[in-house]
Chains A and B, each alone.
Chain A
Amino acid sequence: MRKRVQTCLLLFPGLIIFGLFTIYPIIKLFVMSFFDWKIGLNQTSQFIGFGNYVRVIEDTVFHTAVGNTLMYAVITVPCQIIIGLAFAALINCITKFKVTFRVFYYLPVITSWVIVSLVFKYIFNNEGLLNYLITEILHLTNNNIGWLDRPNTGLLVAQLLGIWKGIGWNVVVFLAALQCVPKQLYEAGDIDGCGNFKKFFYITIPHIKNTILFAVVMLSIGAFNVFTSIQLMTGGKPAHKTEVILTWMYYKAFEARDFGYSAALSFITALLISIITIIQFRVFKND
C-alpha cells in the first residue's frame, strides 16, 4: 500500500506536466476544430460542426500540400533506407575506422535544421554555389537555374536535404541491427556456396526486417512532419505551390488567423499518418 502511494507520488509530477502540456492542448485543439475560432477579446466563437473539416478537404492548396508531402515521403523514405543500409553494410565489413565513419555520417543528423536549411539555400540560390559551378566552372549553360523559384525543383532541393540529413540516423540504426545477425548463418552460407549478394538478401535482410519496419514507420512520420526546410528555403512560394501540410497549417493559423481550420487540418493529418502507419504494419506482417 505504502509502495503504491510512493509510486503515485513519484508519477504525479510527470503526469501533471504531461497532462498540462500534451493532453490538454490536444483536447483543446479537438474542440477548437469544430468552431469558427475567434481570438479577439470578448469575442464568441461559433460552433460550426464539421464545417472546418469540409473546408480543409475542399481546399485546393491543401490538396497541393498533401501531394507535396506524400511526394516528399515517397522519395525520401526509400532513398534514406536504401542508402543508409548500403553504407551500414559497408561499414560493417571493415574492421578499422568503424567509429570514425559512424561519426562522419552522423554529423548531419545532429546539426540544426535551421542551419542546414540556410546552407542549402545558399548553395541553391540563383547566385549560389551550385549555379556558380554550372555556369562559371563547368560552362554547362550560360543561364543560372532558378532551383528554388520553381515548384518542382524547390521541392527537390528539400528532398535532397531530407535524404542527406537522414542517412546518418539510418546508418547507426542499421549498424546496430547488423551486429545482431548471428555469424554462424554467414558461415553456413559460405559452406552452401552463397555469394555476398545472396547472403545479404537471404540472411541479412530477413534478420533485420523488424528494424527496417521501425525505420520505415519513423521516417514516414518524420516525412509528414517536414516543415523547417520548406519554410526557410521556399516559404511555400511561388503562390503556395511548394507548401507541405505543416507549412500550410502554420500559415493558416498564424498568418491568416484561421485557427479552426488549422486545428481541423492537424487532426486530418494525424488521421492520415495513422492510416499510413497501419498499412505499413500490415504489409510487413503479411510477409
Chain B
Amino acid sequence: MKMKKTISIFLMFILIISIATGCKSDKATSSNGSDESVTITFWHHYNSQSAENKVLNEVIIPEFHKKHPNINVETVSHEWAELHKKILVSTSSNQLPDVARVDIAWVPEFQKLNILKKLDSEMKDFKEISSNIIDGPMNTAKINNNHYGLGLNTNTKILFYNKSMLDKENIKVPTTMDDFFEAARKMSKKDGKQIWGYGEPALSGWNICPFIWSNGGDITDKEYKTATGYINSKKTIDIIQKLVDLYKDSGMIGFNSGDIPLTDGYGQGRYGMIIEGPWKFAELEGSYPDFEPMTAQMPAGEGGSVQVLGGEDIVMFSDSKKEASWEFMKFMTDKFAQIEMAKVGQIPVNKEAIDSEEVKSIENFAPFLEAIKTAKPRPPVSTWPEIDNEITSSITMAMLDDKPVEEIMNELAVKIDELLETANK
C-alpha cells in the first residue's frame, strides 16, 4: 500500500517535471537538405486594422509557399512600438525570430547590438538582389559600408487638408511655412465645437524634424557628432517658437493624452490640416468613407520642402536559418509581393514594381514619390531612440511650460551631445 503511494507520488512528480520542461521548444539550428522542411518565423508590424496583415497572410505567404514548398513561414504580428521592445527583450534571452520587418530608424541600434547579419558578405547573390532596389531605401540599412538589411517599403509624409474648411475661409492651399501658420490660425474656430487648424499626433523627431529642416535648421551636424549649434540654432528655435505660439493660440492640437485621435479629428472636420503618410488613406477609407482627403506637399521654408524619410527594412538576425530566411527576404522584396503590398498602401522599393502598371495606377502615391525626392532620414545613430525621447520631452515642455524656448533648446543640445558621444564610442 505504502509502496503504491510512493510510486504514484513519484509518477506525479515525473509528470510535472516533464510538463515543465516540455514547454521549451528547441530551435533547429540549420537546414542542410533541400527536401527537409524548414520553419522560419517572421515578425512584423503590418497593420491589422487595414488590409496589410490580410494581404500578407492570405496572398503573399501562400504564394511563397507555392514556390518554396519546403519552407514554412510563421508570421507574428505586433504593434509598431511593441515590436521594437519585443526585439530588444528577445535579444537578451536569445529568442529572436529569423526575419523581421523593422523601422529604418531602428537599424543602427540593432546593428550596434550585434544581432543583425551582414548580408553583403554572407549572401552570394546579394549584389544582384540589391541592385533591384532603389538606392535611398537600400542605404537605410547600410552602416560603415556594410549592408544589414534590404529596403522593403518606403514612405514619407505630405500635407492633408480639408478643402471645404479652406474654401470657407477663402484661403489657398499653403505652399510656404508662413502661409501654413496663417492658414492654421484662420481655420481655428470656437463656435459650437472647437476646430483646430492643425493636428499633430506627437512631438517626436518624426513629427518635428520636417518643420526644423524645412525652416533651414537641423538636429545635428552632417557627421552626427554634435547637436550644439544645430538643435539650438536660431532657425531651429525660431520654428519651434512658431509651433509653440500656434499651440498656445489654440491653432494646433493632437499630441496630448486626451486629445481626439488624428484620423477621427481630420475625418470629422475638427482638424483642418494634418501631415501624414500614405497609410492614412486606408485608415480614412475604413472609418470615414464619405470624407474626401486632399493632399499637397509639405509647405516650404528657407530650407525648402523637406520631409522625413520613413519606411521599413527587412532584416535577418545573427542565428537565423540563413538559406530559408534569405529566400523569404528575396521574395518579400521581389516584384509580386511588392505590388501586392502597394495595393494596400505600402510604397514599393523594387524598381520593377515601381514601374509596373498596377503601381503607376495608384494615384495616391504620386505626391509621396515627389516628397521622397527631398526627404531626409532621421540621424542614423544607435542612440536615436533616446535622443528622440529627449526631443519629445523638451518640445512638450516648450508647449506646456512658460520656460523660454531658447533655454529649453540649449539644455536639449547638451543632452543630445552626450548621447551622440555614446553612439560614436
Tell me which residues across on chain B come within 8 A of A259, comparing CB atoms: 92
Interface of A is mostly: loop
Can you list 19 A-B pairs with a CB-CB distance of less than 8 A? A2-B2, A6-B6, A9-B6, A10-B9, A16-B20, A41-B318, A125-B258, A126-B259, A126-B260, A148-B258, A149-B256, A149-B259, A149-B400, A150-B400, A154-B257, A234-B257, A235-B257, A238-B396, A239-B392
Q: Is A147 an interface residue (CB 8 A)?
A: yes
Q: Is A112 an interface residue (CB 8 A)?
A: no
A17–B17 CA distance with the chains assembled, in angstroms: 9
Interface residues of B, count at CB 8 A: 38
Given contacts A6-B5, A12-B13, A239-B397, contact A39 B260 (CB under 8 A): no
* B20 engages A43 (CB within 8 Å): no
Which residue numbers of B lie inside 8 Å of A, CB to CB?
2, 5-6, 9-10, 12-13, 16-17, 20, 85, 88-89, 91-92, 94, 112-115, 190, 194, 256-260, 318, 385-386, 389, 392-394, 396-397, 399-400
Q: Is A42 an interface residue (CB 8 A)?
A: yes
Q: Is A257 an interface residue (CB 8 A)?
A: yes
Tell me which residues across on chain A come within 8 A of B190, comparing CB atoms: 142
Tell me which residues across on chain B come within 8 A of A233, comparing CB atoms: 257
* A40 engages B256 (CB within 8 Å): no
Q: Which of A2, A39, A233 has the most CB of B within 10 A?
A: A39
Tell me which residues across on chain B come within 8 A of A147, comparing CB atoms: 258
A43–B382 CA distance with the chains assembled, in angstroms: 15
Tell me which residues across on chain A come within 8 A of B194, comparing CB atoms: 143-144
A102–B201 CA distance with the chains assembled, in angstroms: 43
Contact with B along A145-179 (1 / 0, CB 8 A): 01111100010000000000000000000000000
Q: Is A254 an interface residue (CB 8 A)?
A: yes
Chain A residue nearest to B395 in the complex (CB): A239
Q: Which of B88, B256, B257, B389 has the most CB of A within 10 A?
A: B257
Tell me which residues across on chain B come within 8 A of A234, comparing CB atoms: 257
* A237 engages B13 (CB within 8 Å): no
* A126 engages B258 (CB within 8 Å): yes
* A146 engages B256 (CB within 8 Å): yes
A215–B2 CA distance with the chains assembled, in angstroms: 45
Q: Is A13 an interface residue (CB 8 A)?
A: yes
* A9 engages B112 (CB within 8 Å): no
A75–B394 CA distance with the chains assembled, in angstroms: 30
Contact of A254 among B88, B257, B386 (CB under 8 A): B88
Q: Is A256 an interface residue (CB 8 A)?
A: yes
Q: Is A62 an interface residue (CB 8 A)?
A: no
Tell me which residues across on chain A come within 8 A of B400, comparing CB atoms: 149-150, 238-239
Q: Is A190 an interface residue (CB 8 A)?
A: no
* B393 engages A240 (CB within 8 Å): yes
Given contacts A10-B9, A240-B393, contact A40 B115 (CB under 8 A): yes
Q: Is A127 an interface residue (CB 8 A)?
A: yes
Chain B residue nearest to A7 in the complex (CB): B9
* B258 engages A9 (CB within 8 Å): no
Tell me the chain A residues, 79-128 only, with Cβ under 8 Å from chain B.
Answer: 121, 124-128
Q: Is A255 an interface residue (CB 8 A)?
A: yes
Tell me which residues across on chain A come within 8 A of B392, comparing CB atoms: 239
Given contacts A39-B113, A40-B114, A257-B88, contact A13 B16 (CB under 8 A): yes
A203–B28 CA distance with the chains assembled, in angstroms: 69
